[in-house]
Amino acid sequence: FIGPKWNNLTIENFNIDISIITSFGIINIPSKRLQHILDKYNLNFKIVLEMNGQTKGIKKMLSIYMCVNLTNGKIYIGSASKGYLYDRYRAHLFLAKKQGSKIVNKAVMKYGIDNFAFVILEYVKNEKVLILEREQYYIDLLKPAYNIAKIAGSVMGIRRSMEQRIKLSINMTQDHINKIIKAHTGKTVSVETRELIRQAALGH
């Protein structure tokens, strides 16, 4: 999608159920390479972008997405708040060495943008309750090689403080809370943090 024509594209311009957007226009099936990866993990998807340009034709919703290296099948899983999905897309694939995942950026520089796809796996309605929980689901399912942190809630591999992560975990499942606690086993935990853990476990 190169040039103003594609930069002004929005999903709302089309009165159809869009499944995939590519550099060739709107079609109903992904490339064979991408389909092989989707089939391997039995994945459904909302939108797939395979291209060598940029577009703002991404729905502005809370979303779980993945960046896929079509050459080796390596994956990056992430989530985007409402209105920031396009920013995530640009940061990971087009702003190499500036924003997004550094690992994905380096891979894009090495393999070329034509060998990557940006896949929106699902839209999430409730940010506080579901978005990190659903992101963690895909991290556990796909075991993405490009994710530095294996616990949803980290930003580009930068570990949040224990207190911050537990506060974010209050509305998560007990399984997710346990993973965060396990990741910090052996570390000194403040009384306040222990109380946050207890409250999170109780669902308060």
Instruction: State percent of the chain over pLDDT 90.
Output: 9
Say if residue 74 is in the same domain as residue 98.
yes
Q: Considering the domain boundaries, does residue 149 fall inside one?
A: no
Say if residue 36 is in the same domain as residue 134.
yes
Residue 41: what are its φ and ψ, rounded to 5°?
-105, 5
Say if residue 27 is in the same domain as residue 68.
yes
Cβ atoms of residues 47 and 59 within 8 Å: yes
Residue 186 DSSP SS3:
coil
Say if residue 106 is in the same domain as residue 31.
yes
Residue 80: which H helix or E strand, with range?
A: strand 75-80
Give the chain's domain count.
2
Say if residue 14 is in the same domain as residue 72.
yes
Whichever domain contains 28, its CATH number is 3.40.1440.10
- Name the band, by pLDDT with cuts 50, 70 and 90, for residue 74: very high
- Name the band, by pLDDT with cuts 50, 70 and 90, for residue 63: confident
User: Would you tell me the crossing angle of helices 132-142 and 174-183 to the nearest 10 degrees?
Assistant: 70
Q: What is the mean pLDDT of residues 181-186?
A: 59
Q: What is the dihedral of CA 142, 98, 113, 122, to 10 degrees?
A: 40
- Name the band, by pLDDT with cuts 50, 70 and 90, for residue 181: low
Q: What is the pLDDT of residues 77-113, one digit of tens each?
A: 988 766 555 555 555 555 554 555 778 888 888 998 8
Q: Considering the domain boundaries, does residue 151 fall inside one?
A: no
Say if residue 102 is in the same domain as residue 178.
no
User: Is 0.85 surpassed by the pTM of this model?
Assistant: no
Residue 20: which H helix or E strand, with range?
A: strand 20-22
Q: Considering the domain boundaries, does residue 39 fall inside one?
A: yes
Neighbours of 9 (CB within 10 A): 17
Q: What is the pLDDT of residues 130-148, one digit of tens each?
A: 788 888 899 999 999 998 8
Q: What is the pLDDT of residues 10-51, one digit of tens each?
A: 333 332 233 333 333 333 468 889 889 999 989 887 777 665
Q: State which residues form the domain around 173.
A: 160-204
Say if residue 124 is in the same domain as residue 165.
no
